[in-house]
Amino acid sequence: MQILRKTDLEAFRKARELGPAGVISLLKEKGLSGRGGAAFPVWKKWEYTLNAQADEKFVLCNADEGEPGTFKDKFIIKNNPETLIEGILIAAQVIGATRAFIYLRGEYEHLRRGLERVIDSILKESKSEVEINIVVGAGAYVCGEETAIIKSIEGFRGQPYFKPPYPPVEGLWGKPTIVNNVETLANVPQAILFDDWIEDLRLFSLSGNVTKPGIYELTEGTNLSELIALGKPKNRIKAVYFGCFGGCMPYAAMELSPEKVCVKNCAIGSYSIIAVDEKQSILDVALSVAEFYAHESCGKCTPCREGTIRIWELLEKIKKKKATNDDIDTLKDLAEQIRETSLCGLGQTATTHVLTALAHFRNEFVKEA
């Protein structure tokens, strides 16, 4: 696997020779894009942060991998933490930061000690003066959002705020901050060092009703049928979910690329695929996802705070066979309202699963209603 190649601080040394501008232009040439879900070009984010005027700047590694069905960052932290830490050091060097943070989700606390050992040994070997702190989260999905993570580290409730300003201009404690995902930062040394590094390779997290779930490194645009075949499902696969936020669609042979998935009104995000077989009810999955959002809504904006609970209640009503056709219409209307009026990405995508499930599997809702 490309992501498991060792870089042994060679990329760090090369980056030092290249200087900040050289690193940024190399990352631009290589085309490295963010792997947290938004695919924002890394060089751009770094250049904004480099050009922002401030007495202090920070690097923040987002290891708050909370999207259900996603475990690629955990895979990197367990199997190649050295390249991640090297990526953080390169980012710090480029923008001149002396302090970096890794926001590790609370559910991954068991990985902390191992990661700390790697940090210590790499700092010693690189003779870098950068201080890397691990801040362990405490169970809040919303803290994967870059402004919420900043609030959380600053010691507030982890609630997102309206952008702009974006973190490269005003981030941690109001200072310019690079916020990058684990997989992104782990790819930095790889992209800098290896001529044959391929930007198109993605880590797919495959889970659900397959007998071989796991992390598969495949090129973007790989056919869904190829991925599912690797997972060796026991029964016929009926639907796939792109995590919770990306929505669902009937299983069919198709290219897994942001554009092709978008056509289905879904979002590929962090390349998590949850396979659901014919023995499962889409309504039950919808209930599980709705419960997730009702629990994880941070409570700051009304559409998301109130709406996610009402969505869950309506689905419960359908499950109890007490719903009417009007309820199904209300469900759809409400889901659209929440999507259009919520403050952050959590609320805006919290109902994609309902809307796509109603579009593709309406009979499973109406039949039960």
Partner 1 sequence: MMDEHDVLLLPLLRKAQKKHGYLSEESLKKISRKTGVPISRVYGVATFYSMLHTEKQGENVIEVCSSPSCCVNGSLDLVRFLEKELKVKTGKTTKDRKFSLCKTSCIGCCDHPPAMLLNGRPFTDLTKEKLRALLKKCGKKKRR
Interface residue list for partner 1 (CB under 8 A): 65-71, 74, 105-110, 133, 135-141, 152-153, 155-159, 173, 205, 207-209, 213-215, 241, 244, 274, 276-277, 280, 284-285, 288-289, 291-292, 295-296, 298
Q: Which is nearer to partner 1, 134 or 192 (CB)?
A: 134
Q: Which of 52, 45, 43 is nearest to 25 (CA)?
A: 43
CB of 27 to partner 1, least distance (A): 28
CB of 22 to partner 1, least distance (A): 30
Residue 186 CA to residue 136 CA, distance in Å, equals 19
Torsional sign, CA 18, 220, 269, 65: negative
Residue 30 neighbours by CB under 8 Å, 6+ apart: 191, 192, 197, 199
CB of 196 to partner 1, least distance (A): 28
CB of 188 to partner 1, least distance (A): 22
Q: Which is nearer to partner 1, 207 or 356 (CB)?
A: 207
Q: Which is nearer to partner 1, 173 or 324 (CB)?
A: 173
Q: What angle do CA 198, 204, 206 make, to 5 degrees?
A: 160
Q: What angle do CA 350, 352, 354 make, to 5 degrees?
A: 95
CB of 284 to partner 1, least distance (A): 7
Backbone angles phi, psi at 320, to 5 degrees: -85, 5
Q: Which is nearer to partner 1, 19 or 139 (CB)?
A: 139
DSSP 155-210: TS-------SSPTTTS-GGGS-EEEEEHHHHHHHHHHHH-TT--TTEEEEEEEES-
Q: Which is nearer to partner 1, 135 or 201 (CB)?
A: 135
Give the number of C-alpha atoms closer than 13 A to the C-alpha of residue 313, restricted to the C-beta side. Answer: 8
CB of 70 to partner 1, least distance (A): 7
Instruction: List alpha helices for 6-80, DSSP H.
Output: 10-30, 42-51, 72-79
Q: Which is nearer to partner 1, 6 or 157 (CB)?
A: 157
CB of 174 to partner 1, least distance (A): 10
Residue 325 CA to residue 185 CA, distance in Å, equals 48
DSSP state of 242: S
Alpha-carbon distance values, 19 to 15, 16, 197 (Å): 6, 5, 21
Alpha-carbon distance values, 317 to 58, 244, 312, 314, 320 (Å): 48, 21, 9, 5, 5
Q: Which is nearer to partner 1, 117 or 157 (CB)?
A: 157
Q: Count of residues for the chain?
A: 369
Q: Which is nearer to partner 1, 3 or 193 (CB)?
A: 3
CB of 138 to partner 1, least distance (A): 4
Q: Name the pairing type of β-strands 214-219 and 201-208.
A: antiparallel
CB of 12 to partner 1, least distance (A): 26
Q: Which is nearer to partner 1, 9 or 228 (CB)?
A: 228
